[in-house]
Structure 1
Amino acid sequence: MAGVGGVPKDPSRRARRNKDTIPQTVLRWERAEAPELPEFRIERDGQLVEFVWPERTREWWAMWISSPQADHFGASDWQFLLDTALIHARLWRGDLSAAGELRLRVAAFGATPADRARLRMVFAEADGADQGRGSSGGPSARERYGNLRMMPGGKSDQGKST
């Protein structure tokens, strides 16, 4: 409630100001287009053989290209994600030791709801899609209870002289 409590301390006298000790570097933003998964050769048993991307990794790559996050990826992001695709391919070829590194890398891009919450990402359509009605689509609390008023003699009126 407004007006309750003491006068706030002058900001210049506060002991804790939560200022960054290191200044922020502002970079020029440059969106980059997603690269295709490359064709290349790997050495196997002393011979060079064509690397074949697992179908699951191709699907995973297409998912990232069409994700909302992709609108905010620069060239270095796509290169990091391309390296991550190799780890994804290792996992889907049966190398379960790749799972931990894959989880850490995709978390940096907001792969799960928890990752997006930690990165403070929200979907723009979600803000206006329900017109403030919440996820149920029903009337908001303000619409349901906005006309309610306290009755005389209610708990807040007890003990007051009339």
Structure 2
Amino acid sequence: MAGIGPPPKDPSRRARTNKDVVQLRVVQVQPVMQPDLPSFTVMVTVDEQLVTQEFEWPAMTKEWWAMLANHPLSSEFIETDWAYLMETARLHAEFWMGKLSLAAELRLREAKYGFTPEDRARLRIQFAQATEAEVSVASKVRSSRERFGSITLGDELEA
């Protein structure tokens, strides 16, 4: 299975510091609010006859869609983002209804929006709260001598 490569290196650790060949293009956009999951009908076979019935969103897909409202970037999503994610919700629903062959496509679609730490690293997205947490943890780290300095070899043998 082909992947999309390792996450990018930290720029400070790169051997070459070439500038990007293509300049970053900044455009003005108008973000939109998250739409509701749509109601629609699907064709199903009942007693060997095709009938239409209302599509029932699985509970997991409803939770997934609600989770998107809390996505750190959702306040920047435009109509095309929400349309793409709505199509992804349909695949998500089919996946949770047992069509496991959609797992790879679902993973690729979610990766485009930074759903996992690896995806965010590849997209060069870093959450501010994670940075603050790392700083506070790093300041509390003690050296191994401070942590284990009072232990001697004789203490371990007696236990």
CA deviation map 1:61-96 (0-9, x unaligned): 111111112122111101100000000001000001
Which residue does the alignment assign to 1:110?
Answer: 114
Identity of aligned residues (%): 39
CA contact (8 A) 1:32 1:73 kept: yes
Which residue does the alignment assign to 1:28?
Answer: 28
Q: Which has the larger radius of gyration?
A: 1
Q: State the aligned residue count.
A: 124
CA contact (8 A) 1:108 1:115 kept: yes
- Offset of 1:97 from its aligned partner? 0.8
CA distance in 1, matches of 2:20, 2:129: 33
5+ residue gaps, structure 2, are 1-17, 147-159
- Offset of 1:122 from its aligned partner? 0.9
Q: Structure 1 residues 64 and 140, CA, compared in 2 at 3 Å: closer, same or farther? A: farther
Normalising by structure 1, what TM-score? 0.67
Q: Show the 5 A alignment for 1:115-154.
A: 115-129=119-133, 132-135=135-138, 138=140
Which residue does the alignment assign to 1:6?
Answer: none
CA deviation map 1:20-60 (0-9, x unaligned): 3x665432221110011111111112221100000010001
Q: Does 1:77 align with 2:81?
A: yes
Q: Show the 5 A alignment for 1:3-42.
A: 20=21, 25-42=25-42
CA distance in 2, matches of 1:19, 1:67: 29
CA distance in 1, matches of 2:24, 2:124: 18
Richer in helix (by share): 2
SS in 2 for 1:134: helix
Which one of the candidate residues 95, 107, 127 is aligned to 2:99? Answer: 95
Higher relative contact order (CA 8 A, sep 6+): 2
Which residue does the alignment assign to 1:57?
Answer: 61
CA deviation map 1:98-121 (0-9, x unaligned): 101000000000010100110111
Normalising by structure 2, what TM-score? 0.68
Which residue does the alignment assign to 2:13?
Answer: none
Large movers: runs of 4+ above 6 Å: none
